[in-house]
Structure 1
Amino acid sequence: MGLHKLTAGDGYEYLTRQVAAADSTERGASSLADYYSEKGESPGRWAGAGLAGLGSVAAGQQVSEAQMKALFGEGLHPNADLMFELALAQGASQADAARSAKLGRAFKIDSGATAYRVACAEAFVAHNLARGQKWNAAIDDADRARIRTDVGSKMFAKEYGRAPADERELSGWVAKVGRQKTSAVAGFDLTFTPVKSVSALWAVAPREVSEQIEAAHESAIAAAVTYLEKHACFTRVGTGGVAQVDGNGLIAAQFTHRDSRAGDPNLHTHVAISNKVAATMPDGTTKWLALDGAALYRNNVPASEVYNTVLEAQLRERIGVRFTERASADRSKRPVREIDGMDERLAERWSSRSAAIKLRTAELARTFQADHGREPTAIEAISLAQQATLETRAAKHEPVSHADQRSGWRAEAIEILGSQKALSELVSSITAHTAAEATTDFDHAWVRETAERSLDIVSRKRSRFLRHNIRAEVVRQVRTFDPPAERIDALVEKVTDLACGDELSIDLSGAADTDPATDIAPDVMRRRDGADVHTRHESQLLT
């Protein structure tokens, strides 16, 4: 699961740019046939327990462009436009109508232009005046592009003391310095992507099987979001945010995409979590505040493992696949669990994007070594990988229908495997497994063994750790025993409790470091987990 911030203003637009047709408010309900035949991605849908605090937005409803602009662009209620008009129609003043759509403070957006944009604007004016035209006369697209390139090249050379290595390096730099300035965080984009073998099977399997894979993917995302609502849905109040209080659920907009920029099958879902969260105050009132982002980042890895584990369980139960570990080409990385029996040639064919990034990263590393006489450090290597990702990022292809995509992917698979029969036999062979008999009792002996193994693995990398570090490893360990989907959460918590308890771990927080007020705090100063609001959720340092 990837995680990055969404900035206020237009930071959300890449999520809605490829959505099929128009907004759902204008289109009405769509049929399954529409989903397969319309060009572009399927519209987003609302999710999260926090929707209950909005009143007029329900889970499963389609997300409109206007709603995304209101919530993620401006920090207002998703239906702000409608609420404003309704309030005016009922006789409210302009000010009162505007307040009716507020969710706490609106986002502060710095609309000031970047130095690059200012320089381009000045160059456009100079271009017109030099030709005896009005300062704001229209400029031909080709001339505007040339001016932007000239300005960018000069500014790049001034910053780095050299000319850009190539067009891609210049384009990447211009994209970075040309972004709108804003420090306001509108939300967080969580990207859930299954392993490559799952996307490959989803791309070539009969439609009814593909639909089951999508359903499993959605169930796994729901489990991860539920986990985050339990362990990462907080806000902070008081001077300096001294108190961490419970949020009343997350507000999320989910957008499922079908392919990579290279057009390869790549089932993945962006879950845009709003930075707005409602919290119930001690006096019973509700306030809209900002989500505690630190808790979200801290639980990024455990939530990712929850997604992977639930996805495997759902796919086992829905379509009868099995998973096995495959060693990673990078020895520093742990083995990846892929669908047993999936032909690796399909995954290789449909990994052109990652292959291009690896190739460019290697080229940049060789250039770095030649220029500096040494290999890049770990931090420098990450920077080179990020540069390679940007430089190899092709423009998003024109929208195509799901039906056309599936037809193309099946044709590619038949070409690789040799025949339609070979493809059918492959799909049948990896989805024909009946539910295996349970081989694990999940008794106390298993719980203790799994807790000790998890502690051992975490302790090799960390001399001190937090509960979420252990939980992430526990989820990985539980996954290898193929538990039923409905038992995963209970098993994980049972193992984590034992691993982090006094029997196997030492609490380094210590009585001397604990505020004595935590023992006598009244209920109104405690979170749902029972802890005093002046402590952070699961913040005990262990060893």
Structure 2
Amino acid sequence: MMSISNVSAGAAASGYYKQEGYYKAGTEEGERAATWFGKAAEENGLTGYVDDRHFAQLLDGEAPDGKLMGRYVDGERQHRPGLDLTFSASKSASVAALVIGDKRIIEAHDAAVRAAMIVVEERFIKTRFQQDGEIVTKNGEGIIAGIYRHDTSRALDPNLHSHAVIANMVKNENGGYSAIRNEAVYKNQKLITEIYRSDFENRMADLGIATERGRFGEVNISGISQEVTEAFSKRRQEILNAIDNKGMDVSPETASKAALATRAAKHKNLDRDALRETWRADALAAGLGRDQLDRGRMGQAAPQPVVPLDQQRPIAPLAEPSQPSGVFEKAKAMLSSAAAVARVETDPRQAVNRAVEHISERESAYSRPD
């Protein structure tokens, strides 16, 4: 799923996002887990691995053109550092990637996060600025973000997730920088989540790794049993206990609130090799095969029958053909069949038309994301 939160001033100044990954300071593994993203980042030479000092300056509001973002109230500058979009793989995908050690799954997760962020940047990042004496709201021309991949929960379970941290500045059509309007990001949270999941699901199909959707739409790896995932769900159990104690129903919303309420202290300079050995022992005890662990990758899925278009479940909505910057061509690559079946190549316009027909059978008005 993808959750959204505001970046705190403390997180912006402290290198929080690298610390939160529990990587030892200065290690290559930690450095490679943080990468730049965004058109404005690339235009300003920010590619490859994130430099903490520079990113902290951006979160503090120092724009590439020298402008200091924010507004002054009673002589004091006030500035919101940015937005944190956290993309989380399922527990079974985390186990396959981090315990079994199938690095292809980590690469697929990274690629799916970036695919979703391309759509976020091109469609959902808005900005407001003054033009010809009037305040206008328009699409941004490019963002600066750092994507931080983490692989553990606070309970030290395997937990593959990435923080896409967007600095609160967007290049506008005048060539300057103005603050981000994030309402469209919040409004389309479910759509962005599905774009990430669909892209990840398709990449698993391309690798021959069978998947299935879970209760909340998460993409599970079919070869990982429930017993194994439960063995690595200590943090999940803490959250469920908190929800139960409050007498609430389990949902993504209540889980998010319970997660914040039950956060444990962070771990520093973690011995990751020792942690992985512990994960391996726990996996064996939970019934994961030693041969699979020793192989270090998931097996190939058996060939599956092609599902006709009219029997497929809906996939993430596509951008319109007229939209610039190649979004439509990128979206075409996201079409796939239902879980664990062969990819079906079809005309995306036909898929959109069928979706419109389906929705309009019950609703007289509906949104573009629908």
TM-score normalized by structure 1?
0.55
Which of the residues 76, 87, 91 maps onto 1:196?
91
Aligned-partner residue type, residue 6 of structure 1: V
1:214-252 deviations in Å (ceiling 9; x for gaps): 111111111101121232133233489863323222321
CA distance in 1, matches of 2:286, 2:250: 37
**Residue of structure 1 in register with 2:277 after alignment:** 407
Q: Distance in 2 between matches of 1:247 and 1:337?
A: 31
Residue 151 of structure 2: aligned partner: 258
Q: Is 1:274 matched with 2:167?
A: yes
Is 2:138 the counterpart of 1:249? no
Match of 1:468 in 2: none
- 1:12–1:68: 8 Å Cα contact kept in structure 2? no
How far residue 267 of structure 1 moved from its aligned partner, in angstroms, is: 1.0
Matches within 5 A, 1:177-188: 184-188=79-83
Distance 1:317 1:110, change over 3 A: farther
Aligned to 1:6: 7
Structure scoring higher RCO (CA < 8 A, sep ≥ 6) equals: 2
The residue matched to 1:201 in structure 2 has which SS? helix
For 1:33-72, list aligned pairs within 5 A: 34-35=28-29, 42-54=32-44, 56-57=45-46, 59-60=47-48, 62-72=49-59
Q: Tell me which residue corresponds to 2:212.
A: 324
Higher Rg of the two aligned structures: 1
Secondary structure (helix, strand or coil) at the match of 1:314 reads helix
In 1, Cα distance between equivalents of 2:340 and 2:223: 19
- The answer to whether residue 103 in structure 2 is matched with residue 215 in structure 1 is no
Alignment of 1:36-185 (within 5 A): 42-54=32-44, 56-57=45-46, 59-60=47-48, 62-77=49-64, 101-102=66-67, 105-108=68-71, 184-185=79-80
| Equivalence for 2:327 | none
**Higher normalized helix content (fraction of residues):** 1
Give the AA of the match of 1:499: A
Q: Distance between the aligned counterparts of 2:358 and 2:261, measured in 1?
A: 51
Name stretches of at least 5 consecutive residues in structure 2 with no aligned partner. Answer: 316-333
SS of alignment partner, residue 218 of structure 1: helix
* CA distance, structure 2, for counterparts of residue 363 and residue 111 of structure 1: 44
Equivalent pairs: percent with the same residue?
23
| Residues 382 and 441 of structure 1, relative CA distance in 2, 3 Å threshold | closer
After superposition, the Cα gap between the structure-2 partners of 1:308 and 1:540, relative to the gap in structure 1 and judged at 3 Å, is: closer
> Matched residue of 1:226: which SS?
helix
Task: Return 5+ residue gaps in structure 1 as ranges.
Answer: 24-29, 78-99, 113-180, 329-333, 366-375, 456-474, 510-538
Q: CA deviation at 1:502?
A: 12
2: distance between equivalents of 1:395 and 1:416? 27
Kept in 2: contact 1:253–1:272 (CA 8 A): yes
Q: SS at the partner of 2:143?
A: coil
1:416 aligns with 2:286: yes
Query: Would you say the 8 A contact 2:69–2:178 is kept in 1?
Result: no
Residue equivalent to 1:17: 19
* Greater mean alpha carbon deviation, residues 401-410 or residues 412-421: 412-421
State the Cα RMSD in Å. 4.2
User: What do residues 295-346 of structure 1 show as CA deviations (whole Å, max 9, x unaligned)?
Assistant: 221222111111111112112223x2101245x4xxxxx5654211312211
Residue of structure 1 equivalent to 2:128: 236
Letter in 1 for 2:168: N
Count of equivalent residues: 349
Report matched runs for 1:336-485 at 5 Å.
336-365=218-247, 386=257, 388-417=258-287, 420-421=290-291, 423-424=293-294, 431-433=299-301, 436=303, 439-440=306-307, 442=309, 446=310, 479-480=338-339, 482=341, 484=343
Question: Deviation of residue 52 (structure 1)?
Answer: 3.4
For residue 417 of structure 1, give the secondary structure of its aligned residue in structure 2. coil
3-state SS of 1:251 partner: strand
Structure that is richer in strand per residue? 2
Cα separation, 1, equivalents of 2:290 and 2:359: 58
CA gap of 1:4–1:348, structure 2 versus 1, over 3 A, is same
Counterpart Cα distance in 1 of 2:273 and 2:354: 49
For the pair 1:293 / 2:182, whether they are aligned, the reply is yes
Residue 8 of structure 1 contacts residue 74 of structure 1 at CA under 8 Å; is this kept in 2? Answer: no
The 1:200–1:12 alpha-carbon spacing in structure 2 relative to 1, beyond 3 Å, is farther
Match of 2:324 in 1: none
Preserved contact between residue 279 and residue 287 of structure 1 (Cα < 8 Å)? yes
